[in-house]
Structure 1
Amino acid sequence: MTTTTRVLSLLTLLPIAMAQADDGGISFWLPGQFGALAAAPVAPGWSLPLVYYHVSASDNKNAVVPRGGRTVVGLDAKADLLFASPTYTFETPVLGGAQAAISAVAAVGRSEASIDATITGPRGRSFSGSTNDSLKGGSDLYLLGTLKWNHGVHNFMAYSMGNIPIGAYDPNRLVNIGLGHAALDAGGGYTYFDKTYEFSAVAGMTYNWENTDTHYKNGIDAHIDLSASRFLTSQTLVGLVGYYFEQVTGDSGSGAVLGDFKSRVAGIGPQVGHFFKVGDEQWYANIKGYYEFDAKNRPDGWNLWATLVIPLEGKK
């Protein structure tokens, strides 16, 4: 395998499924999870992407939002999560030459939040005054499948991703790491790559099942992740990343006391990536960050991703 092909195959392992707790304004889909060269085929075999994710977000001090089964005011939240995504890419093409891959994703981490006031709680209980909560634990199990087609500099992808809700979740807590309900996301993407420049766009939609503990059902979400970068050398790239997320149908269920509560948010920021040798293997590290804006009915702030991609097949 040439150096250029190896660069391509490792870099495209970065799209990884991630999610957070879901209630009015915090979505199953984590914007920004698809990155550079998202739709380009990769080297077959096993790989292990690891991602450290930090998020800091807050609401307007007067904003009223549903959170963890409560209706809260003045939310300020932070989280640090470490995701592992063992991935297997099949060597035999399917469906007209498509390359298939499957990933299982899970995380451990810590989440914390504070609020100025709680108006109503789960099961009709009332709260008041400032409070905070923190939690260490594991996430749900997320399953991702992709199909990718290559036609010269043009690359296309279809994907689907869902969760098994087994993570740390308690409807009576202010913060959770598990989702508390099932969800399914599907979509497609495109990557242009001529070995110097790349542009990637991945769009999808999310369907959420009802959280039976809080009787809250998020509406259908639409989202797009974007990347544009340039390879300064065959080992180093720099560029920009961005995303846009918008809820297209309203929340529902008896727990949706604020009505449809449609949310949206946009983000943009820089990225840099670098390839380096560990023994005979070529590893890849990437750092990207997003500053959020144009938020509605959703906490906004900034988030940072630090990614390490480990090939497990040895030198090819």
Structure 2
Amino acid sequence: MTSESRLLRVGFFIAALAAAGPAAAAENALSWYLLGLRGPGAAVAPPVEGVFLQNDLYRYMGAVRREVSLPYGTSIGAGIGANATANMLTALWMTPARVLDGRLGLSLTQPYGGPTLTASATVVPPFGARMPLTVGARDSASFFGDPVVSGFLAWQSGNWNVQAGTSVNVPIGQYDAAGFANMSFHRWAVDPFLAVTWLDPATGIDVSATVGYTFNGTNTATSYRTGNEFHLEASVSKALTKELSVGVLGYYYEQTTGDSGAGATFGAFRGRVAALGGTVGYGFSVNGIPIQTRIKLFREFEARNRLENGTAAFLTVSMPVWVPNPPKP
């Protein structure tokens, strides 16, 4: 792509975003924390020391459209559409260490994938003198995103499980400063979190909740500082058999401080969204290795300064890869 065509593409997206109104709080309307990532068993740590793998395949679709009426029958309409596919591979090490009587866990997550963004604008001339003019543009990318390192402490007492920890986004992933479709955020982000799970083995009922708060740094490539963000996830599920469970779940997100910096040309907008959905989990073994799978599906509502009518889905697979002293059956 030539530098001229790249500038035209970026300019078109900026014009379409401006016409669409304040629909994109947080840089490119993307929060760093992946909403819906946690669900049933959010605070339940592996019961033994070892190394575990988890793969999350994520899919999101959303859009927003605005129309502005001008004098003499003129109007400008603009729409932004986005869909994203990402794969996140996480390696978790449950260490033998204990801190404050809690078990120490360390993890590294590497995402890969990216969004596809489309923009369209329609101009209706005065008095209908000519046919409406519609133009569009598209931007897509697939990159290795910023890796995420996490550490947490896990406690368990009876049916209660608690995790307290912090996740950090390390801005070293591939990043296209001239494009809008990026997997990386190109900024430091720190997210302290607290998760609680009440799990009754006798009835198979699991009630889980996770709360976190993201402190965002500045994207030095764009001089854009996304405001800080609050997120809450909750779920209730029940095991129908030893292998199968079903449940309901949801999340709530609110940006508590406005965007800032020279790159925040649309102002200090704050985003908000909520979602409800369902989940199905299924466990099985392959050559004696226990494998857990889960599907989660969300539908967003009450969106403010974000993409609207969003649908998000997760397919999660997790398993142990090394356990020094596996429990006896």
TM-score, normalisation: structure 1: 0.83
Asked whether the 8 Å contact 2:252–2:274 carries over to 1, the reply is yes
Hey, what's the Cα distance between the residues in 1 that align with 2:44 and 2:267?
A: 41
Hey, what's the Cα distance between the residues in 2 that align with 1:80 and 1:26?
A: 14
Higher share of residues assigned strand: 2
Query: Which residue of structure 2 lines up, in the alignment, with residue 266 of structure 1?
Result: 274
Query: Which residue of structure 1 lines up, in the alignment, with residue 44 of structure 2?
Result: 40
Residues 41-81 of structure 1: CA distance to partner in whole angstroms, max 9, x if unpaired?
Answer: 32321011011111111123449xxxxxxxx9521011111
Code of the residue aligned with 2:165 in structure 1: it is Y
Matched, 1:58 2:63: yes
After TM superposition, list the pairs within 5 Å mapping 1:158-173 onto structure 2: 158-173=164-179
Residues 194-239 of structure 1: CA distance to partner in whole angstroms, max 9, x if unpaired?
Answer: 1110111110101111111211111110010111100111211100
After TM superposition, list the pairs within 5 Å mapping 1:62-141 onto structure 2: 62=67, 73-95=78-100, 97-117=101-121, 129-141=135-147
Query: Which residue of structure 2 lines up, in the alignment, with residue 176 of structure 1?
Result: 182
Hey, what's the Cα distance between the residues in 2 that align with 1:306 and 1:155?
A: 24
Hey, what's the Cα distance between the residues in 2 that align with 1:210 and 1:117?
A: 30
Asked whether the 8 Å contact 1:24–1:298 carries over to 2, the reply is no
Query: Which residue of structure 2 lines up, in the alignment, with residue 308 of structure 1?
Result: 317
Code of the residue aligned with 2:319 in structure 1: it is I
Percent sequence identity over aligned pairs: 31
Asked whether the 8 Å contact 1:61–1:75 carries over to 2, the reply is no
Code of the residue aligned with 1:172 in structure 2: it is A
After TM superposition, list the pairs within 5 Å mapping 1:198-237 onto structure 2: 198-237=206-245
Asked whether the 8 Å contact 1:214–1:255 carries over to 2, the reply is yes
Give the secondary structure class of the aligned counterpart of 2:248.
strand
Distance change >3 Å, CA 285–CA 99, structure 1 → 2: same
Could you say what the CA RMSD is over the residues aligned between the two structures, in angstroms?
1.9
Hey, what's the Cα distance between the residues in 2 that align with 1:231 and 1:262?
A: 39
Deviating more after overlay: 162-171 vs 214-223: 162-171
Asked whether the 8 Å contact 1:26–1:299 carries over to 2, the reply is no
Asked whether the 8 Å contact 1:111–1:134 carries over to 2, the reply is yes
Q: State the structure with more CA Rg.
A: 2
Give the secondary structure class of the aligned counterpart of 2:184.
coil
Number of aligned residues: 277
Asked whether the 8 Å contact 1:263–1:295 carries over to 2, the reply is yes
Unpaired stretches in structure 2, ≥5 consecutive residues: 1-25, 69-76, 123-133
Match of 2:198 among 180, 192, 200: 192
Higher share of residues assigned helix: 2
Deviating more after overlay: 26-35 vs 289-298: 26-35
Unpaired stretches in structure 1, ≥5 consecutive residues: 1-21, 64-71, 119-127
Hey, what's the Cα distance between the residues in 2 that align with 1:283 and 1:217?
A: 40
Asked whether the 8 Å contact 2:42–2:196 carries over to 1, the reply is yes
Query: Which residue of structure 2 lines up, in the alignment, with residue 243 of structure 1?
Result: 251
Hey, what's the Cα distance between the residues in 1 that align with 2:159 and 2:65?
A: 44
Asked whether the 8 Å contact 1:132–1:174 carries over to 2, the reply is no
Match of 2:295 among 267, 283, 287: 287
Asked whether the 8 Å contact 1:143–1:163 carries over to 2, the reply is yes
Asked whether the 8 Å contact 1:287–1:307 carries over to 2, the reply is yes
Residues 268-303 of structure 1: CA distance to partner in whole angstroms, max 9, x if unpaired?
Answer: 111000110100111111111100000000113101
Give the secondary structure class of the aligned counterpart of 1:90.
strand
